[in-house]
Amino acid sequence: MGEFDLIERYFKRPGHQADVGIGDDCAIWTPRAGHQLAISTDMLVEGRHFLPTVDPARLGHKSLAVNLSDLAACGATPKVFLLSLAMPRADEAWLAGFSQGLFALADAHGCELIGGDTTQGPLNISITVMGEVPAQQAILRSGAKAGDDLYVSGHLGDARLALEAFRGQISLPQAVWEAARLRMETPAPRLALGQALRGVATAMADISDGLLGDLGHILRASQVGASIDWPASQSLLAASATWPCPETLAMTCVLTGGDDYELVFTAPASARLAVQAAATASGTRITRMGQITAERQLTVLDAHGHAMAHHLRSFDHFA
Amino acid sequence: MGEFDLIERYFKRPGHQADVGIGDDCAIWTPRAGHQLAISTDMLVEGRHFLPTVDPARLGHKSLAVNLSDLAACGATPKVFLLSLAMPRADEAWLAGFSQGLFALADAHGCELIGGDTTQGPLNISITVMGEVPAQQAILRSGAKAGDDLYVSGHLGDARLALEAFRGQISLPQAVWEAARLRMETPAPRLALGQALRGVATAMADISDGLLGDLGHILRASQVGASIDWPASQSLLAASATWPCPETLAMTCVLTGGDDYELVFTAPASARLAVQAAATASGTRITRMGQITAERQLTVLDAHGHAMAHHLRSFDHFA
């Protein structure tokens, strides 16, 4: 199967968004007036972002999910994406699974594949997504204010728990392992919540490298600090509901785990009802887990409000 | 050096295009009203698209050039781009050279880096470029008509000649080798010509996989054929001016060479003056090398107008 057959068979579908889609030198697309474009790109490498054993459909899902998560973090609505794919060989079974998982998520969010590239090489998946946001309503990292509440969506740390189990560092009951693995392999980008928080959240980021690291981006961009209420955060690990996770492991997973693709965001205390309404409207669990502070430090507080000693670092691709 | 230091040091620069550039979850950009977006993406893999010995500055140039060439082929004006980079390790000397070559070309065409991703992995460079084209003026592959003239820009085949020499298949005089290697490593995207041909050319594509293959895309999209005048095409190989290239090798290089990043385009015979004016205005050499035919075949004609037997195929990444 040649390069053009491969694109024709697995990736070319009837489109609605683009004026010209796959099959010319460029895709041609006309964004709506009164909107700004939100654009993001993420590259996934075998062994670094996914395990060689991953099911191709789940990998297709995850490759797009991590990109959509960046749109969610700005409050944008996904519109179109481009896919570049390097593969050692054109494996039809793999392509069928990968494209099925990719398009299932794309269709669920109305995001259309309008272009891409395929080539031979070590497995590498690079996606660029584009979304729209009403003019001046993008939620940036730079808007957090001292006194704002600090929230996260969904659960945190289960993907890291799965990774620890996969690496043989811990042993998990079968049901806990399966649930954690699903979190690692098929994250759900929080698009509905992100959009519902436009005009409500003061700052937002998605959690890809671990909470402390990604919250750190917000703190630096906003020139503020934060205190995290650990007792309020401990239950963020979904596995902890059914499995007695040691506290140090829970702390590592929740605070620095990575691969969560949840949203961390801030909002004034006066907006608590509006935040809860956004969560309810989008069907998304949220947890108020701390506060933004004027003092530019990131502190984790125990049940007595005392700072806990921690030496936790988030994931750095070249550390 | 960590991931964020690396981005800060080599890739973050003051911007003008984007409302929000590198450093948030998404770049935020507002295209001009009355324009459509032209979007393209290309992935470059070591050993497939470039040789391991290539100078990093030249590789930085080429990585963006092959993407800009797709914008040129639609008549679009480059505006912004995103870069995803997988590297085995954060090599500062390599990054300094790569980013210097990349930005020199970006600056020459007013194309701004607004986002990207860096990760550890086998060397892989994935760029997405976005440009603007006045509404309904993009030049597509589908507009060629029987009777149209067939043109190419610049020179063809020298990149392939360099590859043959690099592989030890042929031996070239030093000056010929250096010139051919420069063509292979630092192609010049034909943006000024592409834009000047808006409203003049009926169909256009860039030549990345070889003339026959890329012209073939135009012929299929336009449902026409073409005849190529080989005597008029032979001089497209720049090296042939100073080096007696065997005719079969010249034919392989010019017709199927690949890595040329020239434009192949069609225009009615009535537009010959306008085509020449576009070439002159953009300072780009063009060659009228054949004609579009109603009969859906691609024929190469000798000096007597007889079809030449050829079994030439263009590059396919999975063939």
Q: What is the pLDDT of residue A312?
A: 66
Q: Mean per-residue pLDDT for B151-169? A: 96
Confidence of residue A299 (pLDDT cuts 50, 70, 90): very high
Residues 127-146 in A contacting B (C-alpha not used; CB under 8 Å): 128, 130-131, 133, 135, 138, 140-142
What is the per-residue pLDDT across B244-283, written as a single tens digit (0 to 9) for each? Answer: 999 999 999 999 999 999 999 999 999 999 999 999 999 9
Q: Which amino acid is at B20?
A: V
Pairing verdict, β B112-120 and B77-87: parallel
A-B interface: how many C-beta pairs under 8 angstroms? 223
Q: Mean per-residue pLDDT for A288-305? A: 95
Q: What is the pLDDT of residue A240?
A: 94
Least confident of A100-109, A270-279, B103-112, B307-316: B307-316
* pLDDT for B319 beyond 60: no
**Given CB atoms, is A206 within the 8 Å cutoff of chain B?**
yes
* pLDDT for B317 beyond 80: no
Distance from CA of B165 to the nearest CA of A (A): 23
* pLDDT for A237 beyond 60: yes
**Given CB atoms, is B93 within the 8 Å cutoff of chain A?**
no
Q: What is the pLDDT of residue A5?
A: 86
* pLDDT for B82 beyond 90: yes
Q: Mean per-residue pLDDT for A28-55? A: 93
Residue B203 burial (C-beta neighbours within 10 Å; 0-12, 13-18, 19+): buried
Query: Most A CBs within 10 Å: which of B41, B118, B136, as the mutation test of the A interface?
Result: B41
How many CB atoms neighbour CB B299 within 10 A?
A: 15
* pLDDT for B20 beyond 60: yes
Nearest of A206, A194, A267 to residue A40 by alpha carbon: A206
Q: What is the pLDDT of residue B86?
A: 96
Q: Are B45 and B52 in contact (CB under 8 A)?
A: no
Q: Do A82 and B128 touch (CB under 8 A)?
A: yes
Closest A-chain CA to B208: A25
Q: Do A39 and B115 touch (CB under 8 A)?
A: yes
Q: Mean per-residue pLDDT for A242-263? A: 95
Look-up of token digits 């026409």: B224
Q: Do A318 and B45 touch (CB under 8 A)?
A: no
Confidence of residue B316 (pLDDT cuts 50, 70, 90): low
Q: Are A234 and A153 in contact (CB under 8 A)?
A: no
* pLDDT for B181 beyond 90: yes
Would you call B131 helix, strand, or coil by DSSP? Answer: strand
CA distance A45 to B319: 24
**Given CB atoms, is B59 within the 8 Å cutoff of chain A?**
no
Q: What is the pLDDT of residue A315?
A: 61
Closest A-chain CA to B5: A318
What is the per-residue pLDDT across A88-99, written as a single tens digit (0 to 9) for each? Answer: 999 999 999 999
Q: Do A39 and B76 touch (CB under 8 A)?
A: no
* pLDDT for A310 beyond 90: no
Q: What is the pLDDT of residue A313?
A: 65
Confidence of residue B17 (pLDDT cuts 50, 70, 90): confident
Q: Concatenated DSSP letters for chain A?
A: --HHHHHHHHT----SS-SB-BTBSSEEE-PPTTEEEEEEEEEEEBTTTB-TTS-HHHHHHHHHHHHHHHHHHHTPEEEEEEEEEEESS--HHHHHHHHHHHHHHHHHTT-EEEEEEEEESS-EEEEEEEEEEETT----GGG--TT-EEEEES--SHHHHHHHHHTTSS---HHHHHHHHHHHHS----HHHHHHTTTT-SEEEEESS-HHHHHHHHHHHHT-EEEEEHHHHGGGSGGGGTS---HHHHHHHHHH-----EEEEEE-GGGHHHHHHHHHHTT--EEEEEEEESSS-EEEE-TTSPBPP-------TT-
Q: What is the pLDDT of residue B206?
A: 97
CA distance B157 to B164: 11
* pLDDT for A314 beyond 70: no
Distance from CA of A87 to the nearest CA of B (A): 10
Confidence of residue A311 (pLDDT cuts 50, 70, 90): low
Q: Mean per-residue pLDDT for B85-90? A: 94
Q: Are B112 and B80 in contact (CB under 8 A)?
A: yes
CA distance A68 to A43: 13
Nearest-by-Cβ selection for A141 from B24, B48, B115: B24
Q: Are B116 and B85 in contact (CB under 8 A)?
A: yes
Residue numbers in A near B27 (CB within 8 A):
38-40
Q: Do B126 and A124 touch (CB under 8 A)?
A: yes
Q: What is the pLDDT of residue A14?
A: 85
Confidence of residue A8 (pLDDT cuts 50, 70, 90): confident
Closest B-chain CA to A78: B26
pTM above 0.90, yes or no: yes
Q: Do B3 and A36 touch (CB under 8 A)?
A: no
Q: Are A191 and A71 in contact (CB under 8 A)?
A: yes
Q: Mean per-residue pLDDT for A76-101? A: 96
Residue numbers in B near A135 (CB within 8 A):
30
* pLDDT for A1 beyond 90: no
Q: Do B42 and A117 touch (CB under 8 A)?
A: yes
Question: What is the dihedral angle through the alpha carbons of A262, A268, A269, A274, rounded to the nearest 10 degrees?
Answer: -70
Residues in chain A: 319
Q: What is the pLDDT of residue B309?
A: 74
Mean per-residue pLDDT over chain B, rounded: 94
Least confident of A115-119, A309-313, B104-108, B113-117: A309-313
